[in-house]
Structure 1
Amino acid sequence: MGPPPVVTGISPKEGPPGTRVTIRGEFLGTTANDLIGLKICGCDCLLSAEWKSKNKIVARSGPCKGRGDIIATTRSGGEGTSTVQFRGYHESIGPVKESAVWVEEAAPPSLPWGRRPMSPTAYTPPDPLGLSTEGEDCKFPEDELNELFPDGSGKLSDENFQPGWYLLEHHSNTSFEDLRAGMVFLQRKVESQKEGQLSFLKANTGAVMDQLDRLVLLKNMFEEDQRKNGKEPLPSLQAAIEESITLADSLFSEILSRKENADKTREALSLLTRHKFLFQLPASIDKNIRKKEYDLVVNDYTRVKNLFGNTDVKLFQKILAEIDKKIEDLKEKLHTRMKTMPINVQEQTKYIRLLISLNWEGDAAWIAITSRKDYLMGLMNKVKDHFKQKEEQESNEKGKRKQKESENEGPWSMTRAAWCGAACGALASELNALWPLARRYFAGELGGEPTAPQRHSNLKEMIIAAVEVFSEHMRECLLSGGGSVAGGGALPVDVLRTRLLANLRHLREAYDSLLKLDLPSQPLSIVEKVIFEYRVHGMVVFLQRALRRVKGLADAETWKVEQFSDYGAITILPHLLETYMNEALSSIHKCVLTSGRRESALLADGSEPAAQLLKHTQQILLAFVAVLRDLALQHDDEADFNNTSLSVALDQRLEDGAAGSMRGPGGRNWQQRLLMTGANAQYTRRRTLSNVTAVFDNFSLPKPTQPIQVTKDALSTLETTIAETYLEHKGDPLVGTIEPSMYMGRHKTDVETPVDDARPYVYEIINNLIAVHAEVDSICGAASSRYVRDICETVCEELARLAACAPVATTRSAALQARLEYTLLRFACAEHLTRKAENYLMEALAGIPPLETEEDKNRMDELIQGFKKRMELQLGSLNCNMETV
């Protein structure tokens, strides 16, 4: 219950019946329907009341007289109070005063046989004093007259007439001399009336005497009749009257019956004429319903209820019953139309107000709200079923091959994009209708029971349920389907970006429409979570797409040198890795990185999406390492190495004339592909990964410190594996030829034979190293020293082993020969000897007796100089500057 109404001011404060009164106050009703009563000085004025606002009402005063309160009654606050009063008075209307009725200017003539006029109030007697009352606008206050004459009256015809009241009311401003003249006039008038009676008797003495004679004659006749018939003549008179009545009935029965029927007809016609509105209302209701002019029906029904609602006339009750039946049918019709969807809010609100005006039993607004909620739920399910069925039909029409392609598209198909747009549009449009309707309902504008506590919670549950269904459908539409996260891998990146942005735009438009409605935070957070999940999903899709493409790089390798860098011959693979990463990160930056209104940052520090970004980045980079490893260790065309020195020495020279079966893709043999893979790995570790890190910085993405470091470690391990593999397949056969070549032809040195040159195995080792160096240098350039150092180290280790196993040289020639050979090998491989290789050679030389004579030393120097001169080209090829190759 609200506060009771209070009337604090009126304008005007007095007036005759029908005065337009403006009433001001507080709590005078929340709506026009809330005002249920208004009394001015005790007279009911509700029918003429016009509710303007909760502080103002305009009404017309009733037939009240005297002062009284203005009492307003509301449905929400009950009966109110008044701090002011209104004074009503009745005006006397004279012949010259403006009036809405006709006033007789003279007394009506005396009618024969003593009948009086039909309306005794139609004639106002003239002033008995003979004075004019025109201009007497300033009347004596009626309240004071009531106080002076509590039991009197100023009307001449009243029994409690008080002359003082009359004089104060009509002649309060008349002078004393005029009053004396009026008194003389009144006395003269009375005397004239007395004299007129006496003169009348004098003039009609004969008639009066004749009347007296007649009375005496009647008296004698009555006495004579009484002597003859007795004192009781009534029975015979009654019998005569009854006989006359019977005779009259027999003579005039037909005429009287026709008269009775005519009277009834006239009464019926008169009744129909007077109450034409009531009798024509059923047909009028049907006509207005057909025209959908429901407001006219409500107004007519309210009017007839006010006029005939409490009637006891059977005919009227029968008509009212028929009208009530039509109104009940109309209520049911309006109720059905209000619930039938789709319908706009304005029309639905109109039906709600009509039902309220017709006193429909039930909460129409709440039923409308629940109907809209049910329609929204059903609409989203229909949208889902429609696009699911459409997707199945497209799959059946395309066939197995195209069906597979469609499944690969997954959530990026045109059907799914249309589904997303339709679902977002349905949610936004229906909530834009449901929520304002609910707000008006809880504001009390649509009647019902908005104050019920469970209604608020029920509405909140409705909104949350609808948003949750929408979220589930969007997850099914956009976050699942054929290809799962990797879906869309077959689509071009431009198409993928366009569709992702279109779907994200639909979601954000729906989210913005909900934000404008000022919904509670819980349903908004549900939609925001879907958008966030979709952004994460889009990021993962781009990264997974890059991962798929990186995994397929093995098929894109043509072994064509795209660039010859400091790290050797580089193929297209590092560039493709950088391109794929740049493309994926650019798509993430353009499509999903930017947050919309009231959306969370996608890649906040320590967030799960940031961890997923780094995780997938590491997967992509390690997948590239795995591709390099597969390419490096795949050697189906590997040549059969034998233990002859010719197979190694001629390997480089036979490259151009080898059979096709000995070549791999691009005309490269396996050793060359192995070296090119090592160059790619080193270039990727030193250059490409730095470029990838720069791309992360350019797009303001979290730095991939851990993935880069893990990838660098994996690439370093791969480079080591490639070096060991190359050493195993290239160095081991070379080392295996040393011992057979050392003892081939001459197994020992003669004492008498002078030492003039190194044995052939030394030249064979040098030529083999030159062949290896040439092959590695052609692929790896400046980075080839690693492979040559490893092979030289292996050769030195083998020489040290053979020197330790050989018998100790006992002659000068044997010592000179052995020292010469190790010295020449050391000189030839000086640029490629590691400390470990140096130690091996020092161990071998330590086991040879030193040169004792000056002649041997000179001979040693002479042989070394001759070796340098003869082998100048070979030594230059083996120890060339890597930067100039």
Structure 2
Amino acid sequence: MGPPPVVTGISPKEGPPGTRVTIRGEFLGTSVTDLIGLKICGCDCLLSAEWKSKNKIVARSGPCKGRGDIIVTTRSGGEGTSTVQFRGYHESIGPVKESAVWVEEAAPPAVPWGRRPMSPTAYTPPDPLGLSTEGDDCKFPEEELNELFPDGSGKLSDENFHPGWYLLEHHSNTSYEDLKAGMVFLQRKVEGQKEGQLSFLKANTGAVMDQLDRLVLLKNMYEEDQRKNGKEPLPSLQAAIEESIQLANSLFSEILSRKENADKTREALSLLTRHKFLFQLPASIDKNIRRKEYDLVVNDYTRVKNLFGNTDVKLFQKILDEIDKKIEDLKQKLHTRMKTMPINVQEQTKYIRLLISLNWEGDAAWTAIVARKDYLMSLMNKVKDHFKQKEEQESTEKGRRKARDGAEGEGAWGAVRAAWCGAACGALAAELHALWPLAKRYFAKDLAGDPAAPDRHAELKEMIIAAVELFAEHMRACLLGNGTASAEAMSARLAANLRHLREAYDSLLKLDLPSQPLSIVEKVIFEYRVHGMAVFLQRALRRVRALPDLETWKIEDFSDYGAITQLPSLLETYITEALSSIHKCVFTSGRRESPLLSEGSEPLIALQKQTQTIFLAYVTVLKDLALHHDDQEFNNTSLSVALDQRLDESRARLADSRARSWQQRLLIAAANAQYTRRVVLPDIAAAFDRFTFPKPALALQTTKDALSNLETSIAETYLEHKGDPLVGTIEPSMYMGRQPDPDAVVDDARPYMYEIINNLIAVHAEVDSVCGAASSRYVRDICETVCEELARLATCAPRAGRAWRLDCALLRLACADHLTRKAENYLAEVLAGVPPLENEEDKKQIDTIVQGFKKKMELQLASLNCNMEIV
């Protein structure tokens, strides 16, 4: 069993019944006997089939109509399939088609849809060889045929018909075997025509006899008419007609005149009825304009122009002139409405299309774009003037109170400015959402009424940039001004204004505007964010500078660095609040916005500089509070009176902030400075990290250095006003009443030594009550000064005795925890000028005195050396 037949091609693809069809494909049979079936469009065509090869069969189509497959059936492969279809149709008899019936040569009926029937000259005779002509793709090029046969032609009806031309034109790809078969067919047809004339007459004897009878009848009728009327009957007929006309006119002249008038009236009425649309159009135009049905006006006007635009009738021309005047008035009206703002885009687009349909002279769409741009600019100015006037009114109402109280207006943080920002942003977004789509449709030639209009892309870009720049200018004047408000009000206003600006910016991004106007709005947003950051920092700076008014010298905490007031915590609170407000309101970047604090940016530099300014302002506040006072009540003559002051009185004085002495304030300021340097500044640096801000390393280091210098200045000031008077009492107390005898027997410490120790205890008690563990610095410096004075007095003494050795031992014992290397050197200088002890008995005596002094002064020595830490 072999593969089934497959039909892949036919030629021709359509034809009437009996069309010779060439079938090509695969496995179409191995021999003539193998072909047992052939159907074309469902009709059995096996009888007419001629098997040529396994790839080709020639057959004639049956009485089929419509499209259908070509199915080949073989013994070896069975029933096959077809990938192509043949269309059969019934052919109409043409004027040159041989027929035994009379063909009427009347005018062909009209064909709908504007198509015309094929003329007799366009009739193409069938192929004389009985073969199907090839398609246009297989034709031989006409230029080459002209070169091969310059005097020939391929048309069968031409006198210079050349068979070679015809064969190359219609059968260039036909095989030789098919041409031979065609020649046999042509010969048989010619022979059949020679014998066919007689057979044709035999087959159609009835029709031929009927035609002969008709010809005889026509001949008889013509001869009868010639006998009655002669060979030329027209002159007598004309005379009779003229005579009848004259007689009719004489008889019916009056009736004919009335008939003529009636005909004229009838014609006028018919004209009015037939052209009712034209005569009623002016009134219809007025009615439709009043109803605002402009589309109907345009349709009617276009219709009347198409019908009567080229008329020569005076009446029609007069009516058309009246209609043109109304249309001109309508154009002006539409043009005015198109430019009158505010108007929505849909209505404005409608007016543009109407003006274009009415052939308005000018570029209606561009006029609308310019009008919208001018309206946007004027709207911006109106918004500004409105809110400026409103702000002035509110300022006038509150002017007297503000002038009396010295209060500053809210300015950029007021409700009026916030409403201004929202209104301006809304106006910009709304109008650009109307202007930009209108412009895009214009440049897409959707609304271009003038094809020769110049390219206005640059003008449109300048318009949008001008509008956005005006918006940016107004927003800078609105938002970047001065004014005061609470932190909550500033944060709320800043967030609301930023929201308005960003909503306007997002709306512009959705329009896909050019980058330049978008960058202008983005710059305004960035500047406002920077301004908001600066406002929060300036507020913190003002609050820090106002700290002297808030300092009550009330001890809020007693830390490792001494008594602390509220100033350090207020500094940390102010800066933390400023950083929190900055992070909450302006730090986060919106869509396509630049980061606020990028590396090396100007806002970051400004933040760090402003932070350093705040820190240094705080240092200045501490310095002023510590060093600049009018109530400097120091005991500059004798500190021994300090011993008369009870400890509980000192504690009570420390607890009462209103009775704080200047030296206590000095020490408290030093404790605040040290606490700020050691605790507050690291906490502030951690706050910068917590809010993801770059840490101001330079500002922190500069502030630490300034605070350290301030601590040093405070220590020097305290030593100058407290240590110098103490040292000044040593020499008068040493020589009070008598000149000491170097050779006198020493059995106890001299009185001045008791006074020195008691004065040091008083100083230590005062410093420790304020500075706590940090008090050792002040006692250490005073002890060093005392040792220096003792060395000076020992050097100036006429002759050093044993008492100096005892004084050095007792002073070293009393100030054991506060002696520096320099103080030890001073005491070593004193001992170097004292003669050494001669025997063990003198040494024991000195030791006994020291032990007794230690036992007697145990409480004083313990209080003086209670703090072992040196900060």
Structure 2 CA distance for partners of 1:824 and 1:143, relative to 1, 3 Å? same
Counterpart in the other structure of 1:293: 293
TM-align CA RMSD: 3.6
Amino acid at match of 2:759: N
**Residue 343 of structure 1: SS of its match in structure 2?**
coil
**Residue 620 of structure 1: SS of its match in structure 2?**
helix
Q: Distance in 2 between matches of 1:846 and 1:132?
A: 161
Amino acid at match of 2:386: H
Pairs within 5 Å for 1:52-201:
142-144=120-122, 180-192=205-217
Question: Are the counterparts in 1 of residues 760 and 864 from structure 2 also a CA contact under 8 Å?
Answer: yes
Counterpart in the other structure of 2:831: 845
1:767 pairs, out of 753, 758, 761, with 758
Counterpart in the other structure of 1:705: 697
2:560 pairs, out of 566, 579, 588, with 566
Quote the offset at 1:626 in angstroms.
1.1
Deviations 1:318-357 (A, max 9, x none): 1000000000011111111111111111111111111111
Q: Distance in 1 between matches of 2:225 and 2:512?
A: 99
Structure 2 CA distance for partners of 1:129 and 1:744, relative to 1, 3 Å? closer
1:607 and 2:608 correspond? no
Question: Are the counterparts in 2 of residues 816 and 856 from structure 1 also a CA contact under 8 Å?
Answer: no
Question: Are the counterparts in 2 of residues 664 and 670 from structure 1 also a CA contact under 8 Å?
Answer: no
Q: Name the TM-score, length of structure 2 as normaliser.
A: 0.73
Quote the offset at 1:654 in angstroms.
8.6
Counterpart in the other structure of 1:315: 315
Uncovered stretches (5+) of structure 1, i.e. residues with no partner: 1-90, 93-126, 151-173, 209-214, 216-236, 810-814
Counterpart in the other structure of 2:680: 688
Counterpart in the other structure of 1:867: 853
Quote the offset at 1:189 in angstroms.
3.5
Amino acid at match of 1:495: A
Counterpart in the other structure of 1:473: 474
Q: Name the TM-score, length of structure 1 as normaliser.
A: 0.71
Counterpart in the other structure of 2:347: 347
Uncovered stretches (5+) of structure 2, i.e. residues with no partner: 1-91, 94-100, 112-116, 125-154, 159-198, 231-235, 237-242
**Residue 817 of structure 2: SS of its match in structure 1?**
helix
Q: Distance in 2 between matches of 1:384 and 1:193?
A: 104
Quote the offset at 1:667 in angstroms.
3.1
Amino acid at match of 2:763: V
Counterpart in the other structure of 2:746: 755
Identity %: 69
Counterpart in the other structure of 1:110: none
Q: Distance in 2 between matches of 1:470 and 1:201?
A: 104
Structure 2 CA distance for partners of 1:767 and 1:130, relative to 1, 3 Å? closer
Counterpart in the other structure of 2:24: none
Quote the offset at 1:757 in angstroms.
1.5
Structure 2 CA distance for partners of 1:296 and 1:770, relative to 1, 3 Å? same
Question: Are the counterparts in 2 of residues 676 and 779 from structure 1 also a CA contact under 8 Å?
Answer: yes
Question: Are the counterparts in 1 of residues 555 and 563 from structure 2 also a CA contact under 8 Å?
Answer: yes
Amino acid at match of 1:746: R
Q: Distance in 2 between matches of 1:577 and 1:359?
A: 75
**Residue 564 of structure 1: SS of its match in structure 2?**
strand
Counterpart in the other structure of 1:221: none
Instruction: Say how many residue pairs are matched.
Output: 681
**Residue 643 of structure 1: SS of its match in structure 2?**
coil
Structure 2 CA distance for partners of 1:265 and 1:882, relative to 1, 3 Å? farther
Question: Are the counterparts in 1 of residues 432 and 508 from structure 2 also a CA contact under 8 Å?
Answer: yes
Question: Are the counterparts in 1 of residues 636 and 721 from structure 2 also a CA contact under 8 Å?
Answer: no
Counterpart in the other structure of 1:304: 304
Q: Distance in 1 between matches of 2:803 and 2:600?
A: 71
1:788 and 2:808 correspond? no
Counterpart in the other structure of 1:410: 411
Q: Distance in 2 between matches of 1:129 and 1:583?
A: 110
Q: Distance in 2 between matches of 1:593 and 1:378?
A: 34
1:800 and 2:791 correspond? yes
Quote the offset at 1:287 in angstroms.
0.7
Deviations 1:763-822 (A, max 9, x none): 11100100010111111111100000111111112222222222123xxxxx12222123
Counterpart in the other structure of 1:31: none
**Residue 746 of structure 2: SS of its match in structure 1?**
coil
Quote the offset at 1:878 in angstroms.
0.6
1:578 and 2:572 correspond? yes
Q: Distance in 2 between matches of 1:670 and 1:842?
A: 36
Quote the offset at 1:497 in angstroms.
1.5
Counterpart in the other structure of 2:518: 524
**Residue 592 of structure 1: SS of its match in structure 2?**
helix
Structure 2 CA distance for partners of 1:307 and 1:451, relative to 1, 3 Å? closer
Q: Distance in 1 between matches of 2:792 and 2:355?
A: 111
Q: Distance in 1 between matches of 2:409 and 2:296?
A: 62
Quote the offset at 1:581 in angstroms.
1.3
Amino acid at match of 1:574: P
Counterpart in the other structure of 1:80: none
Q: Distance in 2 between matches of 1:271 and 1:140?
A: 39
Question: Are the counterparts in 2 of residues 569 and 679 from structure 1 also a CA contact under 8 Å?
Answer: yes
Question: Are the counterparts in 1 of residues 734 and 751 from structure 2 also a CA contact under 8 Å?
Answer: yes
Deviations 1:450-507 (A, max 9, x none): 7866511101101111110111111111112xxx3xx33x41x222212111111111
Amino acid at match of 2:286: D
Amino acid at match of 1:526: I
Amino acid at match of 1:783: A
Question: Are the counterparts in 2 of residues 648 and 734 from structure 1 also a CA contact under 8 Å?
Answer: no
Question: Are the counterparts in 2 of residues 663 and 669 from structure 1 also a CA contact under 8 Å?
Answer: no
Structure 2 CA distance for partners of 1:149 and 1:757, relative to 1, 3 Å? same
1:830 and 2:816 correspond? yes
Counterpart in the other structure of 2:463: 462
Structure 2 CA distance for partners of 1:867 and 1:450, relative to 1, 3 Å? farther
**Residue 265 of structure 1: SS of its match in structure 2?**
helix
Amino acid at match of 1:519: L
Amino acid at match of 1:790: D
Amino acid at match of 1:830: A
Amino acid at match of 2:462: E
Question: Are the counterparts in 1 of residues 338 and 352 from structure 2 also a CA contact under 8 Å?
Answer: yes
Query: Which shifted more, 449-458 or 434-443?
Result: 449-458
Query: Which shifted more, 467-476 or 261-270?
Result: 261-270
Question: Are the counterparts in 2 of residues 648 and 733 from structure 1 also a CA contact under 8 Å?
Answer: no
